[in-house]
Structure 1
């Protein structure tokens, strides 16, 4: 069984709070979209490199369990092509037709790699998987003229309370112009409705140093301003975890799976770039958590933001110092 080497030596930074309330190393799920190889070819290549057992869920969706890099799934990124999942495991929508359509759609619909929760001190394993996919011709955003592929992180929240969730959200919106300058996401993703920023009025509301509401008010305010998954930091899965009834009453038809994680959706996936690593994007997320953990500095940056009257690109230069401290 071949061993895939790390593509780069970029350091993965650790967040200021590495362990959760139970004392365990926090985890992060990683999602990477790519094109080129079929889901089956991709999972076979990963199994060849790292071992494990392949489970076929349908002709375009596979799970790999027990590998050296943990459990993961690879599938065409379209719910329509996986009727058993859509129908809760029942036969559902004409599986043979879905399978046939999936073979045709594989030329235009990307695959998605989804890892199981990875301990934050073992994220190098994701780079090892991506090196394998690159080796069999996986393509990224730079290769798709009409589509942009995303890299998503789902970091476990360090403490399950409103103040922790809000501190991270405050930090994120205050650092957002800097993040967007550094990440430089493909404009196609905004046009397709995948990673829009938060509304300016909501940003100003939550940036205020005296805005620290209780959980119910926090959730109600968020839902009123953001009744959508289309945010570069999607909090709906986390809020659903906190209060499923409240979220479902506001968004009865939205696809939301509750979990105690943030859903950071801003970066692009550039799988085919030689030596591309997820480390720089992860390290920018760590910068968000670092500012969130320093309440005095967070409130000071919020006050400075509310007093600032310039453009986003100028604020990015100003807030960069807070991000890199």
Structure 2
């Protein structure tokens, strides 16, 4: 099912260029070759096996698309152990498709291809308790200043507890460590940073609490792209070398529910759209921040009260949606 995609409040960068979005989608029950051939049938282009079982769709309607098994074994040195790991991993490790950076009007085209994968038998998170598959959106930042980057980060941090209740991800993903929520201490420190922090302060604040990638919103790629020196000082050169830097928000929270006919990539896009709708309205961010500080004491025993209060505030602005 393909739903209508809504544009971001700021669809272009501060330089006036259209913002692009890279998309990663995880799924099961199709091999890399099968998925690549479905993509070619739907979007055109040609498919080729590049190495082992990695496939590349070249020249489709939306550019090149990589298709591979999402595991570290695929890039490990070839050995018997590596081959066994790949074979056994297929039971629980997803196949992943990764697009080139897409223009906004290419998102519905990708959604059509995802429908074709579903029709061919691709399965998403809900088909198995151990699947826990996600959609990762890599949304180009509007601007490269710390203030530009902070606004959506803070908006997400303030509404994350509410979003996980009102727009819940599949239960299979909540028990896995890939999309852990932000610590409340991070949210407080982001609020107290002010609206125009230095790059050093922003990087140090974030990495003090989230030095790994396993968050609903992973900020390490954009920090490496924009402030590599500050990031190296914060987490070390070895860790930074493992990060693929790019000037995008790496939004990992969304679900992959390919096998559900009522599901669309637009459902997951709407999660991020809401973040930027809030970030674009300083009055809402300020009200949420003040309410967050008022709601949190020395120790946070439950996130539920803030999720409810956050929802009430968003409802006042006509922005609350999802489960009641």
Q: Are 1:210 and 2:194 an aligned pair?
A: yes
SS in 2 for 1:139: coil
Q: Are 1:158 and 2:151 an aligned pair?
A: no
Q: Find the counterpart in structure 2 of residue 13 from structure 1.
A: 6
Q: Assess if the C-alpha contact under 8 Å between 1:208 and 1:306 holds in 2.
A: no
Q: Find the counterpart in structure 2 of residue 74 from structure 1.
A: 67
SS in 2 for 1:212: coil
Q: Find the counterpart in structure 1 of residue 287 from structure 2.
A: 300
Q: Find the counterpart in structure 2 of residue 139 from structure 1.
A: 123
Q: Find the counterpart in structure 1 of residue 257 from structure 2.
A: 270
Shift of 1:232: 0.8
1-side partners of 2:51 and 2:84: how far apart?
11
CA deviation vs aligned residue, 1:239-269 (integer Å, no higher than 9, x gap): 0111223323414443311100001111211
Shift of 1:270: 0.5
Task: Out of 149-158 and 271-280, give the one that drifted further.
Answer: 271-280
In structure 2, list runs of 5 or more residues that go unmatched. 297-303
Q: Are 1:189 and 2:173 an aligned pair?
A: yes
In structure 1, list runs of 5 or more residues that go unmatched. 1-6, 84-92
Q: Assess if the C-alpha contact under 8 Å between 2:126 and 2:172 holds in 1.
A: no
1-side partners of 2:220 and 2:75: how far apart?
23
SS in 2 for 1:127: helix
Matches within 5 A, 1:160-175: 160-175=144-159
CA deviation vs aligned residue, 1:31-90 (integer Å, no higher than 9, x gap): 11100010011001111222112232223211111112322111101121234xxxxxxx
Q: Find the counterpart in structure 2 of residue 42 from structure 1.
A: 35
Q: Find the counterpart in structure 2 of residue 311 from structure 1.
A: 305
Task: Out of 255-264 and 15-24, give the one that drifted further.
Answer: 15-24
2-side partners of 1:42 and 1:129: how far apart?
10
SS in 2 for 1:158: coil
SS in 1 for 2:47: strand
Q: Assess if the C-alpha contact under 8 Å between 1:141 and 1:149 holds in 2.
A: yes
Q: Find the counterpart in structure 2 of residue 57 from structure 1.
A: 50
Structure 1 residues 98 and 23: alpha-carbon distance in aligned structure 2, compared to 1, 3 A threshold? same
Q: Assess if the C-alpha contact under 8 Å between 1:199 and 1:225 holds in 2.
A: yes
Q: Find the counterpart in structure 2 of residue 86 from structure 1.
A: none
Q: Find the counterpart in structure 1 of residue 271 from structure 2.
A: 284
Structure 1 residues 154 and 72: alpha-carbon distance in aligned structure 2, compared to 1, 3 A threshold? same
Q: Assess if the C-alpha contact under 8 Å between 2:22 and 2:137 holds in 1.
A: yes
Q: Find the counterpart in structure 2 of residue 94 from structure 1.
A: 78
1-side partners of 2:125 and 2:8: how far apart?
28
Length-normalised TM-score, structure 1? 0.88
1-side partners of 2:219 and 2:173: how far apart?
18
Q: Find the counterpart in structure 2 of residue 4 from structure 1.
A: none
Task: Out of 271-280 and 174-183, give the one that drifted further.
Answer: 174-183
Q: How many residues align?
A: 309
Match of 1:122 among 106, 117, 123: 106
Q: Find the counterpart in structure 1 of residue 300 from structure 2.
A: none
1-side partners of 2:145 and 2:111: how far apart?
32
Task: Out of 160-169 and 62-71, give the one that drifted further.
Answer: 62-71
Q: Assess if the C-alpha contact under 8 Å between 1:175 and 1:323 holds in 2.
A: no
CA-based RMSD of the aligned residues comes to: 2.1
Shift of 1:318: 1.8
Q: Find the counterpart in structure 2 of residue 31 from structure 1.
A: 24
Structure 1 residues 43 and 100: alpha-carbon distance in aligned structure 2, compared to 1, 3 A threshold? farther
